[in-house]
């Protein structure tokens, strides 16, 4: 009798320690769902290739069928009565989805005429989905349209995914800083789920609409309809894949540069604030302190670099303004388009571009990087510390957007920035061990973690390519991109034993 | 201070709903197709209307015969410009209607 109770208790304890079947079942189910749509998405480049009689359409059709089949299988095999998903499962789903999409999205790159190794193909797909924009492919100008479109679509899907995730999922996981945007439409304290779906839908609608308008304006500015569509996909998503090896420099058009600059900027602002503008608050964007800081900083950097290039006699004023506006916006929004090799402008520009790649855009946008709001909060803390030194008995609080920020939010910002910089250093160190020089390793780590695209240096600079990097470096950079895209915590949390405890 | 104190996050009673995730993905894909369709319909509509107007002006003598042959690019540019404006208004209109009653 006693032994029976002991056995039952032991079994119960084992069952308690084992991850619930549902823990993984639901993860596979959601991955399956995403893969089905990814597979269906592959039919779009297949149709484009078929329309011009390019044999690559067969590759896309086979890959599409395979991915849809695997996705469908995962979905159907794990179909069950899951009404709710826990926070723990939310983390698992978030990470596994962002790994599964490039894993399967890489297949067309492997089997097409590009003849890429799976390592390179995975890098290309991960760079796409995380909207980084680093590439291992050369000879883009001669590639079939299907492959070019697929690269662009991956970035577009990734950009859309990060906006939706940024407002619907990450705040619940306390990642990404969107919990600081306490507005009624996505207050997590009550009735969150139905509102978040509506919010996700309206943001997606806006994202799709803006992409189309961007494509139309690029078409009007002189791109072909296909080029305009591909670049619109990679501009709003702040991805940076182009249809040409010369990136946007290939078009050599001031109008195209300014149109792209405008839409890159739109992609790097909080999408949630566009809804406010649509709700009849046209100044809703500028009332946000993050947006004001961001625009001010952009103005200062662009103004200073323009003056430096102009007074240095390198360019005429209008050219200096055009090139700095485009390239600064491209790097700071973490898009990664290039019109020229800005590292050849001199050491000041190398230093400026290296540092601004870490800043990134606003939270709730498609941009990567540390994000402006974290700098604002750190600046607020600095101000508060100085006040405390001057008036030791005074009360000083840290404010953001007119609201007092609590201690845990401040703490999370500092932990994020510390982890971010530590991550860049560690990644750079690991890249150095693969045989890369220090500049390439450091800028490669920075560009991957910030999801920018080009780095600094001859090898991976704006005029370079990631193809010549060793395989180990390629995998490390892919991991860095994922870390940066998911704001570190969503990935690092899985390395904590506490996470896996029942 | 523990760097990874997850208890606050993991022990919270917040929950996602799978049904809502499925619904959201489905509707987002649907929205993409709907916006694409709207764009095509608007552009085709405006192109055909513009073409019809040009023919009418040709017929009434305001424009010389065969005007389109010499001004095709200009006509297309005009339609593109007009289309951007109308499409933008359509997007704003639909989004505003969808968000009616929201408190932001």
**Strands B16-17 vs A403-404: parallel, antiparallel or unpaired:** unpaired
Mean pLDDT of A405-414: 84
| Predicted local distance difference test score (pLDDT) of residue A182 | 45
Reported residue count of chain B is 104
For residue A278, pLDDT beyond 80 = yes
Split at pLDDT 50, 70, 90, the class of B62 is confident
Calculate what percentage of chain A has a pLDDT beyond 70: 89
CA A274/CA A268 separation, integer angstroms? 12
| Predicted local distance difference test score (pLDDT) of residue A344 | 85
B91/chain A closest Cα distance in angstroms: 6
Residue B69 lies in a domain: yes
| Predicted local distance difference test score (pLDDT) of residue A272 | 83
Judging contacts by C-beta atoms under 8 Å, the chain B residues touching residue A184 are 102-104
CA A130/CA A449 separation, integer angstroms? 10
Q: Show the domain range for B46.
A: 17-98
For residue A428, pLDDT beyond 80 = yes
B89/chain A closest Cα distance in angstroms: 10
CA A311/CA A299 separation, integer angstroms? 18
Quote the pTM value: 0.86
Helices (H) and strands (E) in chain A, counts: 22, 3
Rg of chain B taking only CA atoms, in angstroms = 25
What would the pLDDT profile of A16-61 be if each residue is shown by its tens digit? 544 455 568 888 988 999 999 999 999 999 999 999 999 999 999 9
Residue B104 lies in a domain: no
User: Please, is A150 exposed, middle or buried when counting C-beta atoms within 10 Å of its C-beta (0-12, 13-18, 19+)?
Assistant: buried
Alpha carbon distances (Å) from A99 to A123, A362, B79:
11, 24, 43
For residue B10, pLDDT beyond 60 = no
| Predicted local distance difference test score (pLDDT) of residue A282 | 79
Which tops the pLDDT comparison, B14 or A387? A387
Query: Smallest Cα–Cα separation from A485: which of A393, A339, A371, A377?
Result: A371
Q: Check CB contact under 8 Å for A87 and B32.
A: no
| Predicted local distance difference test score (pLDDT) of residue A301 | 95
Residue B3 lies in a domain: no
Using an 8 Å Cβ cutoff, are A171 and A188 in contact?
Answer: yes
Judging contacts by C-beta atoms under 8 Å, the chain A residues touching residue B9 are 87, 173-174, 493
- By Cβ distance, the residue of B6, B8, B81 closest to A493 is B6
Calculate what percentage of chain A has a pLDDT beyond 90: 52
According to the per-residue pLDDT averaged within each range, which of A196-205, A379-388, B24-33 is highest?
A379-388
ipTM confidence score: 0.74
What is the number of domains present in chain B? 1
What would the pLDDT profile of A111-162 be if each residue is shown by its tens digit? 998 889 999 999 999 999 999 999 999 899 999 999 999 999 999 999 998 8
A residues 152-191 lying closer than 8 A (beta carbon) to B: 160, 164, 168-169, 172-174, 183-185, 188
| Predicted local distance difference test score (pLDDT) of residue A202 | 84
What would the pLDDT profile of A432-441 be if each residue is shown by its tens digit? 999 999 989 9
Calculate what percentage of chain B has a pLDDT beyond 70: 82
What would the pLDDT profile of A362-374 be if each residue is shown by its tens digit? 988 899 899 998 9
Bridge partner list, A403: A400
Alpha carbon distances (Å) from A110 to A37, A113, A297, A468, B36:
20, 8, 42, 17, 30
3-state per-residue secondary structure call for chain B:
CCCCCCHHHHCCCCCEEHHHHHHHHHHHHHHHHHHHHHHHHHHHHHHHHHHHHHHHHHHHCCCCCCHHHHHHHHHHHHHHHHHHHHHHHHHHHHHHHHCCCCCC
For residue A236, pLDDT beyond 60 = yes
CA A57/CA A176 separation, integer angstroms? 39
| Predicted local distance difference test score (pLDDT) of residue A111 | 93
Q: Check CB contact under 8 Å for B95 and A185.
A: no
Angle at A125 between CA A123 and CA A128, to 5 degrees: 105
CA A150/CA A106 separation, integer angstroms? 10
Rounded to the nearest integer, the mean pLDDT of chain A is: 86
| Predicted local distance difference test score (pLDDT) of residue A188 | 37
Residue B66 lies in a domain: yes
Which tops the pLDDT comparison, A320 or A180? A320
- Give residue A40's Cα distance to chain centre: 23
Mean pLDDT of A185-208: 64
B64/chain A closest Cα distance in angstroms: 26
3-state per-residue secondary structure call for A224-276:
CHHHHHHHHHHHHCCCCCCCCCCHHHHCCCHHHHHHHHHHHHHHCCCHHHHHH
Split at pLDDT 50, 70, 90, the class of A180 is low
């Amino acid at each position: 009798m006693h032994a029976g109770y002991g056995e039952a208790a032991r079994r119960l304890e084992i069952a308690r320690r084992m991850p619930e079947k549902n823990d993984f079942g639901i993860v596979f189910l959601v991955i399956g769902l995403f893969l089905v749509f990814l597979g269906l998405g592959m039919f779009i480049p297949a149709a484009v290739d078929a329309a011009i009689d390019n044999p690559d359409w067969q590759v896309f059709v086979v890959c599409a069928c395979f991915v849809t089949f695997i996705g469908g299988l995962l979905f159907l095999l794990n179909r069950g009565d899951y009404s709710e998903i826990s926070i723990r499962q939310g983390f698992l789903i978030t990470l596994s989805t962002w790994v599964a999409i490039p894993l399967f999205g890489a297949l067309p790159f492997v089997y097409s005429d590009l003849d890429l190794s799976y390592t390179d193909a995975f890098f290309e797909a991960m760079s796409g989905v995380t909207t980084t924009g680093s590439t291992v492919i050369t000879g883009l100008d001669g590639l079939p349209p299907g492959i070019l479109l697929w690269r662009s679509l991956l970035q577009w899907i990734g950009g859309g995914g990060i906006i939706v995730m940024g407002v619907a999922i990450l705040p619940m996981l306390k990642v990404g800083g969107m919990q600081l945007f306490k507005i009624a439409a996505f207050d997590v304290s009550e009735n969150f789920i139905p509102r978040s779906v509506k919010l996700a839908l309206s943001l997606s609608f806006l994202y799709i609409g803006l992409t189309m308008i961007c494509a139309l304006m690029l078409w009007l500015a002189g791109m072909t309809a296909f080029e305009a569509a591909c670049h619109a996909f990679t501009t709003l998503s702040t991805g940076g894949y182009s249809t040409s090896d010369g990136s946007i420099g290939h078009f050599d058009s001031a109008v195209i540069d300014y149109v792209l600059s405008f839409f890159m900027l739109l992609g790097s602002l909080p999408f949630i604030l566009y809804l406010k503008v649509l709700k009849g608050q046209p100044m809703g964007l500028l009332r946000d302190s993050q947006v004001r800081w961001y625009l001010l900083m952009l103005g200062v950097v662009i103004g200073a670099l323009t003056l430096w290039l102009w007074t240095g006699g390198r360019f005429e004023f209008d050219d200096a303004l055009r090139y700095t506006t485009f390239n600064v916006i491209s790097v700071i929004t973490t898009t990664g388009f290039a019109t020229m090799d800005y590292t050849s402008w001199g050491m000041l520009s190398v230093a400026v571009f290296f540092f601004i790649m870490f800043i990134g855009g606003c939270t709730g946008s498609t941009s990567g990087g540390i994000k402006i709001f974290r700098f604002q909060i750190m600046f607020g803390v600095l101000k508060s510390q100085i006040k405390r030194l001057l008036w030791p008995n005074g009360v000083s609080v840290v404010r953001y957007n007119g609201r007092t920020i609590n201690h845990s939010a401040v703490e999370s910002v500092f932990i994020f920035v510390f982890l971010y910089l530590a991550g860049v250093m560690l990644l750079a160190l690991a890249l150095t061990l693969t045989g890369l020089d220090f500049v390439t390793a450091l800028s490669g780590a920075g560009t991957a973690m910030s999801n920018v695209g080009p780095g600094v240096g001859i090898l991976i600079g704006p005029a370079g390519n990631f193809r010549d990097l060793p395989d180990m470096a390629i995998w490390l950079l892919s991991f860095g991109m994922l870390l940066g895209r998911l704001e570190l915590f969503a990935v690092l949390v899985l390395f904590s034993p506490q996470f896996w405890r029942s | 201070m523990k760097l990874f104190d997850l208890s606050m996050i993991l022990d919270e009673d917040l929950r996602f709903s799978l049904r809502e995730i499925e619904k959201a993905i489905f509707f987002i894909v649907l929205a993409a197709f709907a916006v694409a369709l709207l764009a095509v319909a608007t552009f085709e509509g405006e192109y055909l209307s513009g073409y019809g107007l040009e023919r009418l002006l040709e017929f009434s003598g305001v424009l010389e015969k065969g005007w389109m042959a010499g001004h095709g690019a200009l006509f297309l540019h005009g339609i593109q410009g007009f289309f951007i404006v109308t499409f933008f208004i359509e997007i704003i209109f639909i989004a505003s209607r969808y968000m009616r009653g929201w408190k932001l």
